[in-house]
Amino acid sequence: MTPTRRGMSRATDSDPGSSARSGNPAAAGSSADHRWTLTALVLGHKRFAAGSIVVVLALIAATIVTTVSSPSRQPLSDSASCTQWAAGTPAQKIAYSHLYINEYGRFPNTARYATAVEAAINKACTTASYLGEADDISVLASLRHAF
């Protein structure tokens, strides 16, 4: 095996472990003998490594908990802004579409009309976003084009 294939530099072109055997006592304790690896670092600093793992796991757990228990899981209502509408889940949007149909008009096939209402809200809220009013205007007001 050539020296470069074992990770040695071309400048020294010698095995770091063999420098002491070759009669060069100054090279025996040189930095070329010490190889940095992740395993050596972890084994050398066990408490720090364990603490780092605990911190990373705590951050992952906090991220998961805040994602699962997000306040955006609340149902959308007429007073929800277009920004809240955009952040809503598909289930929340369909639920609000059914609520809108029940409050403001009865149709024979609510499933078909629910997707039409959702598309109309998406279009109206997109218009409000282009006008810079997505945070200020409600979903109901956007449907009525009150921007």
**Average per-residue pLDDT for the chain:** 77
List, for residues 27-55, the tens digit of each pLDDT value: 555 555 567 888 888 888 999 999 999 99
Q: What is the pLDDT of residue 109?
A: 66
User: What pLDDT was estimated at residue 94?
Assistant: 87
Q: Which pLDDT score is estimated for 24? A: 52
Taking only the tens place, the pLDDT of each residue in 91-123 is 888 888 888 888 887 666 666 788 888 888 999
Question: What pLDDT is attached to residue 48?
Answer: 94
Higher pLDDT, 90 or 106: 90
pLDDT bucket at 1, cuts 50 / 70 / 90: low
Distances (CA, A) of 17 to 7, 31, 36, 104, 144: 13, 11, 15, 84, 80
- Percent pLDDT > 90 in the chain is 16
Any idea how long the chain is?
147
Q: What is the DSSP string of 30-44?
A: SGGG----HHHHHHH
Reference 140, options 93, 81, 70; nearest CA is 81
pTM over 0.85: no
- Can you tell me the distance from the alpha carbon of 96 to that of 118, in angstroms, rounded to the nearest whole number? 8
